[in-house]
């Protein structure tokens, strides 16, 4: 083992007792939540391993702090360090709307080719929720993280590039359906077979490993036939090609139904379920957003493209208490690179107030500990979150929805979590 460096050997992480882990503090509420969460993570690791293991945190810069100190929003040094140390964790980074720099969060994912955005959504007992049975939500979102409209290929109305692209579309491709061509901004949405396959492969492998009965491909393939429709078709093909003995797809169901009738297709699906096969199905994105509210137990692992995944993450988070408690991870399962981060953003109106809930970035830290194989420390944090919330000592976001809650600051919530480890 190796100077605190985590390495990948034959696809397996080799983690020393004192791994160096780069962190980005983040903009807005980032410094508050990171200070709170890192204290809890350190205390849990200390307690779980009696001081034999310890994370050596290495600060790397991005966002406003980087710009103020170096003149760059995302210094190459930051990418180099994460590349070198493999695993990192970050707070949220601000992205201006309608102009200015493109998202640094997206840039990190693309630069390191972190093609899976993994966002587990579960309910913690006692967390206030707008739905009647939040405990029915237990899903893991696999959001494709490198393609789709997040590729940032778009041109401002009136720019030279827009005019060139418009001209190409009109003269070379005969496009005549742009309603107001001169004043339209134009964007391009790349969705590839390879990008789909590696995402869906990761989702199915996760379902197999964690004994999840279904994987749902969410798309808007009725309208966007060759991007979102392509995702659905490539996803099914991949499932049938690479996991033939482990899955039964709705594609196969439809083929049996067409040849032998509905009863035979139902029988085939039942037999597959009885044999413990994973059902790979699909759902059009609009109805999916209704069904996760009305019948969430029907969904386990969700595989989808970048924009759908972004919307679905926040919608599902709301069902289990909001994005104050919504963790995530950006992962490349081939190279081993991963950056753990909360689902939420920089919540600028709360910046520097020591007010918000640090649970999202803390639970992202739990995902990181699990990823490192430090399950004991991860479990300590999870149990402490459960215990602390059920004692009704919570930050403002939960306190405003709970009867009899004691509202505490972000840092005080961390103190309570450490006490309850």
Ligand X SMILES: O=C(O)CCC(=O)C(=O)O
Ligand Y SMILES: NC(=O)C1=CN([C@@H]2O[C@H](COP(=O)(O)OP(=O)(O)OC[C@H]3O[C@@H](n4cnc5c(N)ncnc54)[C@H](OP(=O)(O)O)[C@@H]3O)[C@@H](O)[C@H]2O)C=CC1
Q: Which residues bind ligand Y (CB under 6 A)?
A: 29, 33, 92-95, 105, 323-324, 341, 344-348, 356-357, 360, 397
In the list 24, 36, 53, 105, the residue contacting ligand X (rule: CB under 6 A) is: 105
In the list 61, 88, 106, 218, the residue contacting ligand X (rule: CB under 6 A) is: 106
Residue 106 partner contact from ligand Y, ligand X, Mg ion, none using kind-dependent CB cut-offs of 5 to 8 Å: ligand X
Residue closer to Mg ion by CB (options 149, 169) is 149
Site residues for ligand X, 177-206, by CB under 6 A, read none
Q: What does the buried/exposed string (b/e) look like for 224-234 if buried means 16 or more CB atoms within 10 Å of the residue's CB?
A: eeebbbbbbbb
In the list 310, 341, 397, 416, the residue contacting Mg ion (rule: CB under 5 A) is: 310
Which residues are 302's β-sheet partners?
141, 216
Q: Where are the beta strands (DSSP E) in 137-263?
A: 138-144, 154-155, 186-187, 214-219, 247-249
Q: How far is CA 357 from CA 30, 50, 279, in A?
A: 11, 28, 36
In the list 95, 184, 214, 291, the residue contacting ligand X (rule: CB under 6 A) is: 95
**Which among 115, 150, 236, 396 is annotated as catalytic?**
150
Active site residue 310: yes
Residue 203 to residue 334: CA distance in whole angstroms: 14
Closest CB 305 distance from Mg ion, rounded Å: 13
Q: Does 341 bind Mg ion (CB under 5 A)?
A: no
Closest CB 168 distance from ligand X, rounded Å: 29
Of all residues in the shown chain, the one whose CB is closest to ligand Y is 345
Closest CB 398 distance from ligand Y, rounded Å: 8
Active site residue 286: yes
Residue 199 to residue 301: CA distance in whole angstroms: 12
Residue 340 to residue 21: CA distance in whole angstroms: 11
Q: Which stretch binds ligand X (CB under 6 A): 56-64, 99-107, 358-366, 408-416?
A: 99-107
Residue closer to ligand Y by CB (options 336, 345) is 345
Q: Does 148 bind Mg ion (CB under 5 A)?
A: no
Residue 364 to residue 362: CA distance in whole angstroms: 5
Closest CB 309 distance from Mg ion, rounded Å: 9
Active site residue 232: no
In the list 32, 147, 310, 416, the residue contacting ligand X (rule: CB under 6 A) is: 310
Closest CB 103 distance from ligand X, rounded Å: 3
Beta-strand relationship, 393-394 and 329-331: unpaired
Phi-psi region of 258 (alpha: psi -120 to 50; beta: other; left: phi over 0): alpha
Q: Where are the beta strands (DSSP E) in 188-341?
A: 214-219, 247-249, 278-284, 301-304, 329-331, 338-341
Active site residue 206: no
Residue closer to ligand Y by CB (options 96, 174) is 96
Own/partner contacts of 273-278, CB < 8 Å, gap of 24 or more, are 273/213, 273/248, 277/246, 277/247, 277/248, 278/204, 278/207, 278/208, 278/212, 278/213, 278/214, 278/215, 278/243, 278/246, 278/247, 278/248
Closest CB 187 distance from ligand Y, rounded Å: 17
* H/E element, 406: strand 406-407
Residue closer to ligand X by CB (options 319, 343) is 343
Contacts with Mg ion, residue ranges (CB under 5 A): 310
Contacts with ligand X, residue ranges (CB under 6 A): 95, 103, 105-106, 310, 313, 343, 345
The residues carrying an active-site annotation are 150, 220, 286, 310
């Amino acid at each position: 083992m190796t100077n605190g460096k985590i390495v990948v050997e034959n696809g397996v992480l080799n983690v020393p007792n004192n791994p160096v882990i780069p962190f980005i503090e983040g903009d807005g509420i980032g410094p508050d939540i990171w200070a709170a969460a890192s204290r809890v993570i350190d205390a849990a690791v200390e307690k779980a391993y009696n001081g034999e293991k310890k994370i050596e945190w290495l600060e790397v810069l991005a966002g406003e702090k980087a710009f103020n100190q170096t003149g760059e929003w995302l210094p190459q040094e930051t990418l180099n360090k994460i590349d070198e140390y493999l695993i990192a964790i970050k707070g949220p980074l601000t992205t201006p709307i309608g102009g200015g720099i493109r998202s640094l969060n997206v840039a990190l994912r693309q630069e390191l080719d972190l093609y899976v955005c993994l966002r587990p959504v579960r309910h913690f007992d006692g967390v206030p929720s707008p739905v009647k049975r939040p405990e029915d939500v237990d899903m893991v979102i696999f959001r494709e993280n490198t393609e789709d409209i997040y590729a940032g290929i778009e041109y401002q109305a009136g720019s030279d590039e827009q005019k060139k692209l418009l001209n190409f579309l009109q003269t070379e491709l005969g496009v005549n359906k742009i309603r107001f061509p001169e004043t339209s901004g134009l964007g391009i949405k790349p969705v590839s077979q390879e990008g789909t396959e590696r995402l869906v492969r990761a989702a199915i492998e996760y379902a197999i490993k964690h004994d999840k009965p279904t994987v749902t491909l969410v798309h808007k393939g009725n309208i966007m036939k060759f991007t979102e429709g392509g995702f659905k078709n490539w996803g099914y093909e991949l499932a049938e090609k690479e996991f033939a003995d482990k899955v039964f797809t709705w594609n196969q169901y439809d083929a049996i139904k067409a040849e032998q009738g509905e009863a035979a297709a139902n029988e085939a699906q039942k037999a597959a379920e009885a044999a413990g096969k994973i059902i790979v199905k699909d759902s059009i994105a609009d109805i999916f957003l209704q069904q996760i509210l009305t019948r969430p137990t029907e969904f386990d692992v969700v595989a989808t493209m970048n924009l759908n995944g972004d919307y679905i993450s926040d919608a599902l988070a709301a069902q289990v208490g909001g994005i104050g408690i919504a963790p995530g991870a950006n992962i490349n399962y081939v190279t081993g690179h991963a950056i753990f981060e909360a689902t939420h953003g920089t919540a600028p109106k709360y910046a520097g107030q020591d007010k918000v809930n640090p649970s999202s970035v803390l639970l992202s830290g739990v995902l990181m500990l699990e990823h490192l194989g430090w399950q004991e420390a991860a479990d300590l944090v999870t149990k402490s979150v459960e215990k602390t919330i059920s004692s009704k000592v919570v930050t403002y976001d939960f306190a405003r929805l709970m009867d009899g809650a004691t509202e505490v600051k972000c840092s005080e919530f961390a103190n309570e979590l450490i006490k309850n480890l």
